[in-house]
Structure formats: structure tokens, C-alpha cells
């Protein structure tokens, strides 16, 4: 084996040699000495290879990848080229001369510094990436463990899975819709109210409320990151805009303007093709610009610049050009754009004014602030909703027309009535000033009507409100009333006061909307610090409360069952002794009668006989193999000899002792009944660990013959229930009360995921 290998290596070596020699020989072909030297070397190698054939003193041949390493054209052998050059070798000659001390120092310093490690190769890095990713994924997956476990062990699963109602209403909300009707109820509530019992106790403190709304830490972090990003982007754009604004070159601005105009035109064309409605809107905007122009006459020759130019125009061609440009622009702007719908000038004017009231830019700014950042939007709407929820139970549902006023109310702080009313007045007056307009929309018209009516009422209201207590809740109610009509206000207020159940009065805890808003603002910051488990505990407690009474009722039910099924032994013991004596006599009589009836048959003897027979039957029998007439005379009346019989009789072995040997009154049949065996389970089935367990399950009947209706229903509930014709969707995190990550997978991919996060790097280092 080794010989063959050595031969192979030899061959390979020779080939290599030839290959190596080729380039060497090429430039040196003139000198024969070198060629000879090469020949000698070859010879040497051959000798070495042959000597290594025996396999004993095989030594590692020096491997070379480059021919010029060992043999150079300057005939300098580079022996020891494989050794590394150490810095100290270089320093050796330096040691002697003291003048080079500084260099020495520097070199020493260099020596002490560590070299940077080589980066891992690509496969290794990828492997580590994969491992880290896998760990992360399996961590996120293991949050499903409890749910999977629960679903596997569930008695019953009903599909499609519905989201459980995790949101619970605080007790004050529940109570708001409920009024004490009967005198007893009223009395009780009065009593409770005095002690501030049911109202104040379960009310949530502001902190609790905030914690209910809180999001998880992870989500908060993500949100913060998003916000940061948005802020960074914004500042970047601002800086850019500032920079561009600073550019003084007229040409640049001209070009920019032209470009913009062109772009706008193109966009408009596109829009007209794709979305005619939006194009119409665009047209309206143009119309508005025209109107502005007509109002301001900015581009006519009235301005300062225009006047100066007008003077220059006679002499300066450029100035004339500029003038003409401006006039053209004016014309262009004032030119009427044909809109599909007949847009009258008056209407336009109105619109303009309307816009003045609520400037477009404000809305746009809002849009830009909220648009790219869904987080902010959500929070905003959430707050609004919250406020509404707070309000709803207390206020009667409003008709659509009053929605505007409602929203105003939301904004308004409700702390002091005076301030509020003043504000109300101011606003109204402002509106009056701004528009003596007859709004086209019926909704707003109604609003104004309400306003006018409110003005009349105002004085009355103020007087009234001063009388009333300063409870904010009531104050709000009044406002609502004022927004409607005088009559209704007057009617409602006393009624409201009278009817209001004592439960609804919340002396200390009542919160103004202002406070609430503050709270909600704080909420997003507080939530990070709030420990979640505490929150959950609270929820749990609350959830447990209603379940406790249920349990009680369950227990009671079970008790009832027990009473039904088990006989009560106490009945007998309670019997009166006199009756017992009577019974004794009766028993004696009965015994006598039975004796007389069965006088003829001896049961005990029969039984004993039966048992004896059974014992006999079960005993193993001897086998008699004697053949009568074999080896001796046979015939009628002749019997085989005793010797022969003894010889061919095979005695059966003694069987195991009978189980009923010591039980005189019992016959135990030890034979297996084949008929029954066909219906019997032979091996203990899998989930059971003991046969008793299994037998117990078999023994308890589940049919309605043996169980009450309810027990029967409970025992026969199917494991999986599906609704026919309903699509069952895969389980969702929201279904089981988890928050699913709100970020879409797509957005995550699109941000370059290949970059390592800091945590990854750490893990990488660890590995």
C-alpha cells in the first residue's frame, strides 16, 4: 500500500517539477550550468523519493507553490523562507548603538500592540447569523406554548375562534345606565352612597387607568424609535429647505420655478386621466389662486417693484421683459378655468372665506405631521375615543347636527363655568364677524341657529349656573342643553337634578376632561415604567370577582345530585323503637314462612355437591394409554392386567390449588370464558396507567338513562365544534389576547436587515 502511495507521490512530484521548471528554464535557457544544476537537483529529489519508498524514514518534502522561491536568478537560496521574521531579530543590531533609542522605543511600542484578528470567513459568519436568528425566532415562538398546551388539553374547542372580550367596563360605567327604580333599591343606594361604597371603591385611580391603556415595553420602544426617525427626517428636510432658500442665484430660482410649473402641469394631466375627482379639486385650487390674485392684484403694476420697473422699462429691455412677464402671469392667474360644475363667483368667495377661517395650511401641516407616522395618528384617535367614552354614558346621544358643538366642547376645558361661557361668547362673536354667511349646508345652518338661540339664553344661563353647584359633570350637561334650545334646557335641568340617582354623584373622584387629557398624555410616558404584571394582577382580580359566585352555585348543584343519588341512612335510624319491635315480629314471621315454603329442598347439600363436581371437573385427568388385547388375550369380560395399566397410565400433574379451597360457600370458576373474552380488553390502553383507572371510566355510564339532563349534556360535549359554512382562520395573536407586533413584515424586510444589530454583535462575540 505504502509503496504504491509513495510511487504515486513520486510521479506527482516529477510532474510538478517539470511544470515548475518550465518558467525557470525559459529565461535561463542560455546558461547551461543552471540547467545542469537543475538536473542535479532532480537527481537528488529522485534519490530522496526512492529512499522514502521503504516508508521508514519518510520525511516531509518541502512543498513549494512558487518556483522562484527557492531558486532565484541571483543564485541566492532562500532557505528558511518559511520562518517568520520576528521583530526582535531586526532589533538585534540596534541594541549596540545607543543613538537609536527613540526608534527602539517606538518599535517596542509597536511590538506591544496587538494585531487585529482576522475576520471570520463568510460561512462561519453566516452560520452565526443563522444561529442567532434561530434563537430569536424560537424565543418568539415559545410565547405560543401555553396556548397550544391549553388548546390541546381543552375539553371543547369551538371554531371559529372568537376573540375573548378582554375589555371590561368599570363598575361606574355599568351603573350609569342603570337606575334604582323600586323604593328598596333607592334606599339601598342612598345608604351606599352615604358610605361612598360601590362608587368609590371600584373606581379606577388615574394611575390604574393609565396603566390599563399602557402598551408593552417593546411596543413603546419601537414607537420611540419610529418617532426618532421621523424627527431626524424632518430636521433633515428642514435643513435642506433652508439651504436651498439661501441660494441667491436668480437663474437657479427661475429654473426651479419653471421645473415646478412643468411638473405640476404633468401631474395634473396624469391626475385628470387617473382620478378625475382629484383633478377637479386641483382645478378648484387654481380657481382660488385666481381669486386671490384678483383680490390682491399682486401681479399688476401697482407694486413698488413694478413701479420702479415701469420707469426703467423705457430704457431697459430686460425690465420691459420682466414687466411683460409679470403681466402675463397676472393674466394667466386671473384667467378663468373652466370647471365642470357651474362655479359662481359668490360661492367661490364664500369658500375662500371659509378657508380663511380654517386655513388649508393648518390642515396640511396636520396631515404631514401625522401622515407618515401612523403611531401618532393612532394615539390621537385613541385619545379622542377615550374622551368620548368618558362622555357618552353621561350625555344623551346627540343628533348629528350638534356634532360640531360637541367637538368644541371636547377641546374646551371645563374647569370653570365662567371662563367657559366667556369663551363661548367670544367664539360666537368671532364667527359672526367672519361670516354673515348663509351656509349652504343645512348642518351648519342649524348650528348657527342654535348659536343665535344660545345668545338669548346666555344671560339666563349664567344666572342659573351661578346658583348651581360647580360640579363639572353637571356643567357639561348644561352646555349640551344650551346648544339645543331654551326650552329643553329649562326642562332638563331641574329634571336632571331630581332624577339623578345618588350613585351618579361623584364628589371627589369626578374628573374633568382636562385632567383626563393630561392623563392620557402622561400615559404614554408612564406606561414604560409601570410594571405589567401588576396590571395583569389587577385584571385577574377583577375577573375573578364575578367567577366566585358561579363556583358556589356549581358546588350547590353537585350537592343536590348527591342527595338525589345516595340514600339517606339517617331515615332508618330515626325510626321510633316501638315500630322496630313490630318489625322484628314481622321478620320472624317472614322467616318462618320462608322455612315452610322451602321445607323440601336442602340447598346447602346441593351446593356442596355442586362444588364437589366442579372441583372434580376442574382437576386434570390421567391419561390411560393401555390398549386392551395388545400382547394378551382380549374380549368381553377381560380386562388388561393391572401391571400393564399401571405402565401405560400417564398421571396428570397436580394443578395449582383452587382459589375457593378455603372458601366453603363459594365456587370460583377459574376457566376463562371464551365468549366473554371476545368482548374484553386484553391490554391496558395507552393513556391509562392502572387498570383500575380504566375500569372506572368504563363503569361510569354517560347515557341519559343514568344521568340527569345537564350531566348528560356535559358528558357528551364534543371535543371540536365547527360551524357549518364558516371559514376557520388560523389562530391569531389577537384571538388569544396577545399583542401581535404591529409592524408589518414587509416594512421590516425593506429596511436593510443584513446589518447586524448591536445585540447580534454581542452574541457574535460570545460565540
Partner 1 sequence: MKVKMLSRNPDNYVRETKLDLQRVPRNYDPTLHPFEVPREYVRALNATKLERVFAKPFLASLDGHRDGVNCLAKHPKSLATVLSGACDGEVRIWNLTKRNCIRTIQAHEGFVRGICTRFCGSSFFTVGDDKTVKQWKMDGPGFGEEEEPLHTILGKTVYTGIDHHWKEGIFATCGQQVDIWDEQKTSPICSMTWGFDSISSVKFNPIETFLLGSCASDRNIVLYDMRQATPLKKVILDMRTNTICWNPMEAFIFTAANEDYNLYTFDMRALDTPVMVHMDHVSAVLDVDYSPTGKEFVSASFDKSIRIFPVDKSRSREVYHTKRMQHVICVKWTSDSKYIMCGSDEMNIRLWKANASEKLGVLTSREKTAKDYNQKLKEKFQYHPHIKRIARHRHLPKSIYSQIQEQRIMKEARRRKEVNRLKHSKPGSVPIVSEKKKHVVAVVK
Contact footprint for partner 1 (CB under 8 A): 126-127, 129-131, 133-134, 136-138, 140-142, 144, 148, 151, 157, 159, 564-565, 678-682, 685, 694, 697-699, 701-708, 712-713, 715-718, 720, 722-733, 744-746, 748-750, 753-754
CB of 674 to partner 1, least distance (A): 12
Residue 699 to residues 100, 331, 696: CA-CA distances in angstroms? 103, 101, 5
CB of 695 to partner 1, least distance (A): 10
CB of 119 to partner 1, least distance (A): 18
- What is d(CA 546, CA 174) in angstroms, rounded to the nearest whole number? 14
In terms of C-beta density within 10 A (0-12 exposed, 13-18 middle, 19 or more buried), how is residue 461 classed?
Answer: buried
Residue 124 to residues 128, 130, 136: CA-CA distances in angstroms? 6, 10, 18
C-alpha 94: how far from its chain's center? 70
Torsion angle (degrees, nearest 10) of CA 346, 352, 355, 356: -120
Specify the residue, 256 or 558, whose C-beta has the smaller distance to partner 1: 558
CB of 273 to partner 1, least distance (A): 19
Specify the residue, 160 or 349, whose C-beta has the smaller distance to partner 1: 160
In terms of C-beta density within 10 A (0-12 exposed, 13-18 middle, 19 or more buried), how is residue 10 classed?
Answer: middle
CB of 746 to partner 1, least distance (A): 5
Place of cell 409592524: 743
Q: Alpha helix (H) ranges present in 154-216?
A: 171-176, 183-195, 197-200, 206-213
CB of 276 to partner 1, least distance (A): 21
CB of 274 to partner 1, least distance (A): 16
Specify the residue, 335 or 757, whose C-beta has the smaller distance to partner 1: 757
Half-sphere exposure of 175 (CA within 13 A, CB side): 20
Specify the residue, 304 or 726, whose C-beta has the smaller distance to partner 1: 726
Grid coordinates standing for 623?
391419561
Specify the residue, 144 or 268, whose C-beta has the smaller distance to partner 1: 144
Specify the residue, 666 or 748, whose C-beta has the smaller distance to partner 1: 748
Partners of residue 158 on adjacent β-strands: 721
Specify the residue, 155 or 346, whose C-beta has the smaller distance to partner 1: 155
CB of 71 to partner 1, least distance (A): 43
- Contact at 8 Å (CB) between 511 and 210? no
- Contact at 8 Å (CB) between 457 and 498? no
CB of 129 to partner 1, least distance (A): 5
CB of 733 to partner 1, least distance (A): 8
Specify the residue, 142 or 296, whose C-beta has the smaller distance to partner 1: 142
Specify the residue, 487 or 563, whose C-beta has the smaller distance to partner 1: 563
Residue partners of 128: CB distance under 8 A and separation at least 6: 120, 763, 764, 767
Specify the residue, 95 or 714, whose C-beta has the smaller distance to partner 1: 714
Specify the residue, 579 or 746, whose C-beta has the smaller distance to partner 1: 746
> Is residue 160 reached through a cis peptide bond, with omega within 30 degrees of 0 on the bond before it?
yes
Residue partners of 347: CB distance under 8 A and separation at least 6: 440
Question: Computed over its alpha carbons, how large is the radius of gyration of the chain?
Answer: 52
CB of 167 to partner 1, least distance (A): 23
Strands 623-624 vs 649-650: parallel, antiparallel or unpaired: antiparallel
- Contact at 8 Å (CB) between 605 and 594? no
Residue 556 to residues 543, 545, 560: CA-CA distances in angstroms? 22, 18, 6
CB of 766 to partner 1, least distance (A): 15
Specify the residue, 564 or 758, whose C-beta has the smaller distance to partner 1: 564
CB of 226 to partner 1, least distance (A): 16
Partners of residue 623 on adjacent β-strands: 650
Grid coordinates standing for 745?
413584515
In terms of C-beta density within 10 A (0-12 exposed, 13-18 middle, 19 or more buried), how is residue 37 classed?
Answer: middle
Specify the residue, 441 or 679, whose C-beta has the smaller distance to partner 1: 679
- What is d(CA 219, CA 225) in angstroms, rounded to the nearest whole number? 10
* DSSP three-state, residue 630: coil
DSSP string over 273-320: HH-HHHHHHHHHHHHHHHHHHHHH-TTSTTSHHHHHHHHHHTT-HHHH
Amino acid at each position: 500500500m505504502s509503496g504504491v502511495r509513495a510511487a504515486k507521490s513520486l510521479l506527482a512530484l516529477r510532474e510538478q517539477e517539470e511544470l515548475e521548471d518550465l518558467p525557470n528554464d525559459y529565461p535561463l535557457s542560455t546558461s547551461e550550468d543552471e540547467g545542469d544544476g537543475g538536473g542535479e537537483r532532480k537527481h537528488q529529489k529522485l534519490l530522496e523519493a526512492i529512499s522514502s519508498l521503504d516508508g521508514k524514514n519518510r520525511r516531509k518534502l518541502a512543498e513549494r507553490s512558487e518556483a522562484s522561491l527557492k531558486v532565484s536568478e541571483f543564485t541566492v537560496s532562500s532557505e528558511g523562507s518559511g520562518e517568520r521574521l520576528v521583530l526582535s531579530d531586526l532589533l538585534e543590531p540596534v541594541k549596540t548603538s545607543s543613538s537609536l533609542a527613540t526608534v527602539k522605543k517606538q518599535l517596542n511600542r509597536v511590538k506591544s500592540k496587538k494585531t487585529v484578528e482576522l475576520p471570520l470567513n463568510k460561512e462561519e459568519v453566516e452560520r452565526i447569523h443563522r444561529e442567532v436568528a434561530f434563537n430569536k425566532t424560537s424565543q418568539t415562538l415559545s410565547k405560543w406554548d401555553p396556548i397550544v398546551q391549553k388548546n390541546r388539553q381543552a375539553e371543547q374547542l369551538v371554531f371559529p375562534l372568537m376573540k375573548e372580550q378582554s375589555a371590561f367596563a368599570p363598575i361606574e360605567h355599568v351603573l350609569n345606565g342603570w337606575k334604582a327604580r323600586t323604593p328598596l333599591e333607592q334606599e339601598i343606594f342612598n345608604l351606599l352612597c352615604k358610605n361612598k361604597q360601590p362608587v368609590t371603591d371600584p373606581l379606577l385611580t388615574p394611575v390604574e387607568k393609565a396603566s390599563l391603556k399602557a402598551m408593552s415595553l417593546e411596543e413603546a420602544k419601537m414607537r420611540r424609535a419610529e418617532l426618532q426617525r421621523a424627527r431626524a427626517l424632518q430636521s433633515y428636510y428642514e435643513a435642506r429647505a433652508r439651504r436651498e432658500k439661501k441660494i441667491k442665484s436668480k437663474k437657479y430660482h427661475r429654473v426651479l420655478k419653471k421645473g415646478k410649473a412643468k411638473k405640476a402641469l404633468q401631474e395634473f394631466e396624469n391626475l385628470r386621466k387617473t382620478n378625475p375627482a382629484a383633478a377637479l379639486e386641483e382645478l378648484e385650487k387654481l380657481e382660488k389662486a385666481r381669486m386671490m390674485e384678483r383680490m390682491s392684484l399682486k401681479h399688476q403694476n401697482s407694486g413698488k417693484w413694478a413701479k420702479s420697473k415701469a420707469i426703467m422699462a423705457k430704457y431697459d429691455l430686460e425690465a420691459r421683459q420682466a414687466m411683460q412677464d409679470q403681466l402675463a402671469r397676472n393674466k394667466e392667474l386671473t384667467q378663468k378655468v373652466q370647471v365642470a360644475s357651474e362655479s359662481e363667483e359668490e360661492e367661490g368667495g364664500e369658500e375662500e372665506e371659509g378657508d380663511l377661517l380654517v386655513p388649508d395650511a393648518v390642515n396640511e401641516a396636520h396631515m404631514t405631521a401625522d401622515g407618515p407616522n401612523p403611531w401618532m395618528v393612532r394615539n390621537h384617535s385613541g385619545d379622542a375615543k377615550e374622551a368620548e367614552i368618558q362622555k357618552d354614558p353621561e350625555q344623551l346621544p346627540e343628533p348629528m347636527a350638534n356634532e360640531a358643538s360637541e367637538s368644541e366642547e371636547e377641546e374646551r376645558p371645563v374647569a370653570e363655568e365662567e371662563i367657559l361661557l366667556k369663551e363661548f361668547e367670544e367664539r360666537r362673536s368671532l364667527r359672526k364677524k367672519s361670516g354673515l354667511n348663509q351656509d349652504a349646508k343645512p348642518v351648519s345652518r342649524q348650528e348657527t341657529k342654535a348659536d343665535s338661540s344660545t345668545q338669548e339664553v346666555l344671560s339666563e344661563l349664567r344666572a342659573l349656573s351661578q346658583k348651581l353647584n360647580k360640579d363639572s359633570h353637571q356643567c357639561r350637561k348644561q352646555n349640551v342643553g344650551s346648544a339645543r334650545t331654551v326650552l329643553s334646557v329649562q326642562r332638563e335641568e331641574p329634571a336632571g337634578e331630581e332624577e339623578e340617582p345618588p350613585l351618579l354623584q361623584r364628589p371627589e373622584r369626578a374628573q374633568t376632561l382636562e385632567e383626563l387629557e393630561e392623563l392620557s398624555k402622561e400615559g404614554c410616558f408612564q406606561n414604560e415604567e409601570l410594571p405589567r404584571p401588576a396590571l395583569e394582577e389587577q385584571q385577574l382580580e377583577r375577573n375573578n370577582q364575578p367567577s366566585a359566585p358561579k363556583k358556589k352555585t356549581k358546588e350547590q348543584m353537585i350537592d343536590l345530585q348527591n342527595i338525589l343519588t345516595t340514600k339517606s341512612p339517617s331515615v332508618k335510624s330515626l325510626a321510633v323503637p316501638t315500630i322496630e319491635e313490630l318489625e322484628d315480629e314481622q321478620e320472624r314471621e317472614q322467616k318462618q314462612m320462608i322455612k315452610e315454603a322451602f321445607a323440601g329442598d336442602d340447598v346447602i347439600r346441593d351446593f356442596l355437591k355442586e362444588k364437589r363436581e366442579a372441583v372434580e371437573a376442574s382437576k386434570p385427568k390421567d391419561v390411560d394409554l393401555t390398549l386392551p388385547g395388545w400382547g394378551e388375550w382380549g374380549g368381553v369380560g377381560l380386562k388388561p392386567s393391572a401391571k400393564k395399566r399401571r405402565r401405560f397410565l400417564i398421571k396428570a400433574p397436580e394443578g395449582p390449588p383452587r382459589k375457593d379451597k378455603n372458601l366453603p360457600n363459594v365456587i370460583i370458576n377459574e376457566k376463562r370464558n371464551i365468549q366473554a373474552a371476545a368482548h374484553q380488553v386484553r391490554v391496558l390502553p395507552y393513556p391509562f396507567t392502572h387498570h383500575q383507572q380504566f375500569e372506572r371510566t368504563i363503569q361510569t355510564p354517560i347515557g341519559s338513562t343514568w344521568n340527569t339532563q345537564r350531566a348528560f349534556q356535559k358528558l357528551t360535549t364534543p371535543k371540536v365544534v365547527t360551524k357549518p359554512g364558516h371559514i376557520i382562520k388560523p389562530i391569531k395573536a389577537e384571538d388569544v389576547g396577545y399583542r401581535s407586533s404591529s409592524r408589518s413584515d414587509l416594512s421590516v424586510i425593506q429596511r436593510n436587515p443584513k446589518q447586524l444589530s448591536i445585540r447580534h454583535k454581542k452574541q457574535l462575540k460570545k460565540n
